[in-house]
Amino acid sequence: MPTAHASTIPATLIAGDGIGPEIMDATLQVLDALGAPFTWERCEAGMAAVDRDGDPLPPATLDSIRRTGLALKGPLTTPVGGGFRSVNVRLRETFQLYANVRPARTLVPGRFENIDLVLVRENVGGFYVAHDYYIPVGDDPRAVAVSTGINTRADCRRIARFAFEYAVRNGRRKVTVVHKANILKALTGIFLEAAREVAAEYAGRVEMDDRIVDACAMQLVLNPWQFDVLLCTNLFGDILSDQIAGLVGGLGLAPGANIGDDAAIFEAVHGSAPDIAGKGVANPVALMLAAGLMLEHVGRQDLAVRLRAAIHQTLNEDQIRTADLKGKATTQEFARAVIARLG
């Protein structure tokens, strides 16, 4: 008989670039205090790995994730323009992490209160499949820029099914499909069509409606409470997930999960924040909440709930906040306060 709680679960740990090591350190201290069940395989990726052996995604890191099927990852710097391809995109492709899940809940009451929505983003297709190139004309090697997107019906069905299953499992009432089927008729039309097919199987359990992406962006600001689960194509999901992070207090509070059939990688939505790296002032909440999603993923809802409660109390009852939330706490002070709340 399987035991209710496996005592140790091997998981890959990538500290990441920029503020990555600082917020990861804070998160690991909190997970320790919580008694989280993970045993970490520490691996490198990103600039740290480039500096060491010229490869931003070393084979040993890939092997570890292949073994554990589970990773907690700090942000990785991607050089703009030239340089190497995004490690984040490569990880998604390698492990077919086709679902990107980004919950946004109000933690710090600000402009909007009581927001509780989840964005599910198709993570491997659309405009991110890298058919992005220039065509030379005359003596201009970059006279024309071309980008093509690809969505397959199978991929669209897969992500739609994921969103509806997620809704059922998490007691959500509605899935809103976000598209631009009036203009990108094929690329996002197929997405809407596949979602409608899948939605029919959930009739009576989960509602479905749809929005054109630009209208959706406006309505998210005017009345975000009308939404529950947002199901988006890759590019639209990228944009709207930063927007919903903004609705609930900014990138410092927004976690994300990249989920496939064989592996799942948990991370903060934000990047490596080079402007504040090394100063010890970064907000570790997004990564801590990502660790919370990871606990839920391995069936430790109990620990995830305790973690979120401790973070909530630290922010609101103790009023201990980092500078991005107009507080004075350092990353370490914040971590210690959360640990005190975990008691």
Active-site residue flag, 214: yes
Is residue 238 near Mg ion by the rule CB under 5 A? yes
Written as six digits, the tokens of 267 are 């991370």
Active-site residue flag, 139: no
CA 109/CA 331 separation, integer angstroms: 21
- The partner residues of 232 in beta bridges, in order of sequence, read 121, 178
Angle between helices 234-247 and 213-222 (to 10 degrees): 10
Output the smallest distance, CB 242 to Mg ion, in A. 6
Nearest position to ligand NAI, beta carbon: 271
First to last CA, the chain: 32
Active-site residue flag, 133: no
Is residue 22 near ligand NAI by the rule CB under 6 A? no
Catalytic residue among 132, 214, 261, 302: 214
* HSE, side-chain direction, 13 A CA sphere, residue 4: 3
173-232: which residues touch ligand NAI (CB under 6 A)? Answer: none
Work out what residue 238 binds among ligand NAI, Mg ion, none; the CB cut-off runs from 5 to 8 Å by kind.
Answer: Mg ion
> How far apart, in Å, are the Cα atoms of 32 and each of 38, 170, 343?
9, 27, 12
Q: Which of 251, 308, 313, 339 binds ligand NAI (CB under 6 A)?
A: 251
In what helix (H) or strand (E) does residue 256 lie, and over which residues does it extend? strand 255-259
Output the smallest distance, CB 63 to ligand NAI, in A. 20
286-315: which residues touch ligand NAI (CB under 6 A)? Answer: 286
Work out what residue 286 binds among Mg ion, ligand NAI, none; the CB cut-off runs from 5 to 8 Å by kind.
Answer: ligand NAI
Q: Say if residues 342 and 34 touch (Cβ distance below 8 Å).
A: yes
Phi and psi torsions of 180, nearest 5°: -140, 50
Residue 86 or 94 with smaller CB distance to Mg ion: 86
Instruction: Put residue 299 in one of left, alpha, beta given phi > 0 → left and psi -120 to 50 → alpha.
Output: left
Output the smallest distance, CB 284 to ligand NAI, in A. 7
Is residue 275 near ligand NAI by the rule CB under 6 A? yes
Output the smallest distance, CB 204 to ligand NAI, in A. 37
Work out what residue 273 binds among ligand NAI, Mg ion, none; the CB cut-off runs from 5 to 8 Å by kind.
Answer: ligand NAI
Query: Which residues are designated catalytic?
Result: 128, 180, 214, 238
